[in-house]
């Protein structure tokens, strides 16, 4: 299985670097010879800190890059941590929607939210967009009960 890991970097945030590295270690236990590629705003810097991972740029024109690299991965794992929330501004949910349009819509790849804290969503607009976006995700793996409560309020089911 070939995984695209997105939403975590190795160069500017040690917490997301730990998430990225531990995700890889975990997946190596459950999959035979998995391969990994990750997106990053700073691929050259991240490569220095995580030498065994190939990094792709996640520029604003990533739709073209993703299409070119579509055979390099079978599944997208979103490792964004806790940034899909109104706590980080109302635009974060639109970033997720954009990624879903690219990876799920255009490239037809399974999309997994992996071990994240999601929410809260306080505005009517972000609640609607979150409900729509989460309904297109193949698997949502959460890390705590408060996320379950936020998802249940949105009517999202099937998360673990």
- The tokens for 77 are 């794992």
Average pLDDT over residues 88-113: 92
pLDDT attached to residue 60: 57
pLDDT attached to residue 61: 58
pTM: 0.91
d(CA 64, CA 40): 15
153 against 11, higher pLDDT: 153
- Could you please state the CATH topology (level 3) that the domain comprising 2-154 is classified under: Rossmann fold (3.40.50)
- CB within 8 A of 6, min separation 6: which ones? 38, 39, 58, 76, 77, 78, 79, 80, 99
Across the chain, mean pLDDT equals 90
Is residue 30 over pLDDT 90? yes
d(CA 123, CA 83): 16
């Amino acid at each position: 299985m070939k995984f695209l890991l997105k939403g975590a970097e190795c160069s500017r945030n040690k917490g997301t670097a730990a998430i990225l590295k531990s995700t890889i270690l975990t997946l190596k236990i459950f999959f035979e010879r998995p391969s990994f590629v990750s997106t990053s705003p700073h691929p050259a810097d991240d490569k220095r800190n995580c030498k065994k991972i190939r990094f792709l740029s996640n520029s604003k024109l990533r739709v073209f890059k993703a299409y070119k690299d579509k055979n390099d991965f079978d599944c997208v794992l979103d490792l964004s941590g806790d940034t899909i929330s109104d706590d980080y501004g109302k635009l974060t949910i639109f970033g997720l929607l954009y990624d879903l349009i690219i990876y799920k819509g255009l490239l037809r790849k399974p999309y997994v939210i992996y071990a994240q804290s999601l929410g809260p969503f306080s505005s009517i607009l972000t609640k609607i967009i979150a409900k729509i976006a989460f309904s297109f995700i193949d698997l949502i793996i959460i890390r705590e009960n408060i996320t379950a409560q936020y998802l249940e309020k949105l009517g999202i089911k099937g998360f673990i």
